[in-house]
Amino acid sequence: MAVAAAAAPGALGTLQAGRARLVAACCARLGPRWRLPGSWTCSRVDSKIWARGWTPAAGGAAWQRGYSAEVKTEDELRVRYLEEENRGIVVLGINRAYAKNSLSKNLIKMLSKAVDALKSDKKVRTIIVRSEVPGIFCAGADLKERAKMSSSEVGPFVSKIRAMINEIANLPVPTIAAIDGLALGGGLELALACDIRVAASSAKMGLVETKLAIIPGGGGTQRLPRAIGMSLAKELIFSARVLDGQEAKSVGLISHVLEQNQEGDAAYRKALDLAREFLPQGPVAMRVAKLAINQGMEVDLVTGLAIEEACYAQTIPTKDRLEGLLAFKEKRTPRYKGE
C-alpha cells in the first residue's frame, strides 16, 4: 500500500506534465508572441463580384495574388475576397466542370497554395468552400488521372490530398462548406474538414470508397465518426451509402439543409448568411475559440478545460477586449481590429 501511495503522486505529476505540454502546444499554434498565463508578451469581391485569383509569379515557382474584374473560365480554383459589407469573407470556388470538380494534382496544388496564403492573412475572418459548377460540389479524386498512376505513385498522391484537407481543417478562422450538389469520397472529406457544413436538400453525400475496394484516405475514417458517431459512420462507410441533404441533416452530418433555388446556390447563400453573422465578433476571440474547441475535443475534459483557460487568457490583454467593454458602456457597435 505504501508503495502504491508513493507511486500515485509521481503518476499524477506525469499526467499533469503531459497536460501542460498539450496546453503549451495549443498556445504555440497561436503564434510566437502568445504565451501561457503569467508570461505575457503582447505586443475582396464586392457586390459586383470582383475576383481576386491566384496567378503564377514571375519565375514560375512562387505564387502571388492577381486581381481581375472577371476570373478566367479555365481557372480550376477561384479565390474571391469579398468587399463592402462582406469584407473579411473569402470564397474558395472549385471550377473543374469537365471533371465534376474532382481532385486532380493541379487542383490539390492550387488549393494548398491558396490555403497557405489565407492562414497567415489577418484580414481574413471566415472562409467559404463552394463549387462554381451547378449540381456538383466535388466528386472526389480524379479517377481518370488515378488510373494512369503506378502503384508507387498512388500512396504519395493520396498523402498530398490528406495533407491539403488537413491544412483546411487547421485554418485558424471559421470555415463553411456550401454543398449545393454531389459530394462524394474526397469531396465529402473536404467538406468534413470545414467547421460547418450546409447543403441543399438535393445534394448527395457519401464516402463511397469501399465500392472501389479502397477506404477513405483524406481523413474520412476519422472525421466522419467524430461528426456523427462511430457506429453510424461505420455503417455509412461499410455500405458506401449516399445520403441526400435531408438525410444528412437527420444524422448530424450537416448543420442546415435548404430547398435548392433556381440559381442552384441555396447552400452558398446560407453559408454567406452565416459568415455575415460571424463578421461582427472579435477576430482574436474567434481564432482562439476555434482552437480551444478543436484541441479540447481531442483530449480528456480536465485537459480540455486547461486548454480553454489558456486560450481565454490570450484574449485578456487584447485591445479588442477593451474596445468591447467600452462599446458596451457607450451602447454602440464595437470596432474590432484583431489586436
Q: Catalytic positions, please?
A: 141, 186, 189, 209
Three-state SS at 162: helix
224: which residues sit within 8 A by CB, 6+ positions away? 192, 207, 216, 233, 236, 237, 253
- Please, are residues 237 and 221 in contact by the beta-carbon 8 Å criterion? yes
Q: Classify residue 211 by its DSSP letter.
A: G
Torsion from C-alpha of 104, 187, 202, 78, nearest 10 degrees: -60
Cα–Cα distances (Å) from 110 to 42, 52, 77, 93, 143, in that order, read: 34, 14, 7, 11, 18
- Please, are residues 204 and 282 in contact by the beta-carbon 8 Å criterion? no
Q: Which residue has the cell 456523427?
A: 228
- Please, are residues 264 and 241 in contact by the beta-carbon 8 Å criterion? no
* Cα gap 35→27, rounded to integer Å: 7
φ and ψ at residue 152, rounded to 5 degrees: -75, -15
Taking the mean position of all CA atoms in its chain, how far away is CA 95? 19
Instruction: Dig out the grid coordinates for 275 from the structure.
Output: 459568415
Cα–Cα distances (Å) from 43 to 59, 137, 284, 315, 316, in that order, read: 36, 42, 14, 13, 13
φ and ψ at residue 127, rounded to 5 degrees: -120, 130
Instruction: Dig out the grid coordinates for 264 from the structure.
Output: 442552384
* Residues forming beta bridges with residue 196, ordered by sequence position: 176
